[in-house]
Amino acid sequence: MKLLEGKNVIITGASRGIGKGIAEVFASQGANIAFTYRSSDKKAKTLELELAANGCKAKGYKSDASNFEAAQQLAVDVMEEFGSIDVLVNNAGITKDGLIMRMSEEDFDSVMDVNMKSVFNMTKAVLPTMLKQRKGSIINMSSVVGVKGNAGQANYSASKAAINGFTKSTALELGSRNIRCNSIAPGFIETEMTEALGEEVVQEWRDQVPLKRVGTPDDIANATLFLASDMSAYVTGQVLNVCGGMLT
Ligand code: NAP
């Protein structure tokens, strides 16, 4: 029996990187996948076909996670197409790095909106369905820098710390309805988000990691699979650091 057999899942920001890795692992475990993206139409279409090859239902939605109305509409569209929402993975995220001295208000606001407000938007959008079902698992993609901070990423680390607070509050509010909520704090994971950094910076990160390697989207996808499945039925309100031991 596959771990997510027949479960209907929404993953935000899955056209590439960690979200794509999660979609692939979930599909291989029997889930039907509704995923979102912001602008990568071609990549989304390719992923749709790749996921469907597992025999599951898969559909990409161009939907801005930072937009409240768009999130509401997405939940309606997914219910129409899939009939239930068992798992929500709030993964969409961006960076706009810079020292606070030089950070513009726009760069602060956009990172908070895409990374944090999106979690509120999507949680609120799926709640009526999950409450009716009396079950659900919500997984929010945080970051180790939301736990420890990072110079040059005040906006990003604030958005990720806020996600952890939101996750715990959601778990406390909804535990009695059998809705679980956890977050994952990845360390340094090789994706387009980190591609722009030079080899020297990547080597510095590697040196700080007890496991002596950077992470892969699959490393995060496997932890997300655990939190999405009934294997974690007694786990809620937690921040799971998946960082090769970096925060130890
Ligand atoms: P990525 O490669 O840059 O991919 C970002 C994904 O989010 C893309 O699918 C993108 O869609 C989508 N997206 C961006 N803005 C969106 C919006 N407004 N609405 C809907 N979708 C949107 O990023 P990643 O490295 O996979 O990161 C995924 C998550 O993990 C993020 O929350 C990130 O903060 C977190 N994280 C990453 C790392 C790391 O080292 N990579 C570490 C810790 C945490 P388009 O392709 O259409 O732009």
Evaluate whether residue 160 is within a structural domain: yes
Q: What is the pLDDT of residues 99-109, one digit of tens each?
A: 999 999 999 99
Which residue has tokens 């997914």?
78
Tens digit of each residue's pLDDT (9 = 90 or more) over 216-226: 999 999 999 99
Residues 6+ apart with CB under 8 A from 138: 87, 88, 89, 90, 123, 126, 130, 167, 170, 179, 180, 181, 182
Determine the residue of 157, 191, 192, 219 to mutate for testing ligand 1's pocket, defined as the one with the most ligand atoms within 8 A of the Cβ atom: 191
Under 8 Å between Cβ of 239 and 183: yes
Burial of 235 (0-12, 13-18, 19+ CB in 10 A): middle
| Ligand 1 pocket residue status of 40, Cβ below 6 Å | yes
Q: Report the greatest alpha carbon distance in the chain.
A: 54
Assess if residue 1 is contained within a domain: no
Q: Is 55 helix (H, G, I), strand (E, B) or coil?
A: coil
- Structural domain contains residue 158: yes
Q: What is the mean pLDDT of the chain?
A: 97
pTM: 0.98
Closest ligand 1 atom to the C-alpha of 217? 26
CATH code, 125: 3.40.50.720
61 belongs to the catalytic site = no
Match 């475990």 to its residue by tokens. 29
CA distance 88 to 136: 8
Range of the domain at 57: 8-240
Question: Does residue 201 carry a pLDDT above 90?
Answer: no
CB atoms within 10 A of CB 169: 12
Is residue 45 within 8 A of residue 248, CB to CB? The reply is no
Residue 101: inside a domain = yes
Instruction: Find out whether the beta carbon of 199 lies less than 6 Å from any atom of ligand 1.
Output: no
Question: What is the CA(99)–ligand 1 centre distance, in A?
Answer: 21
pLDDT at position 187 is 97
Rounded to the nearest angstrom, the distance between the alpha carbon of 73 and the centre of ligand 1 is: 21
- Tell me which of 37, 61, 156, 234 is the catalytic residue: 156
Q: Is residue 194 part of a domain?
A: yes
- 161 in any annotated domain: yes
In a domain, 58, yes or no: yes
What's the mean pLDDT in 1-23?
97
Instruction: Indicate if ligand 1 lies below 6 Å from the C-beta of 91.
Output: yes
Query: How many domains is the chain partitioned into structurally?
Result: 1
Residue 3 lies in a domain: no
DSSP state of 243: S
Nearest ligand 1 atom to the CA of 141 is: 32
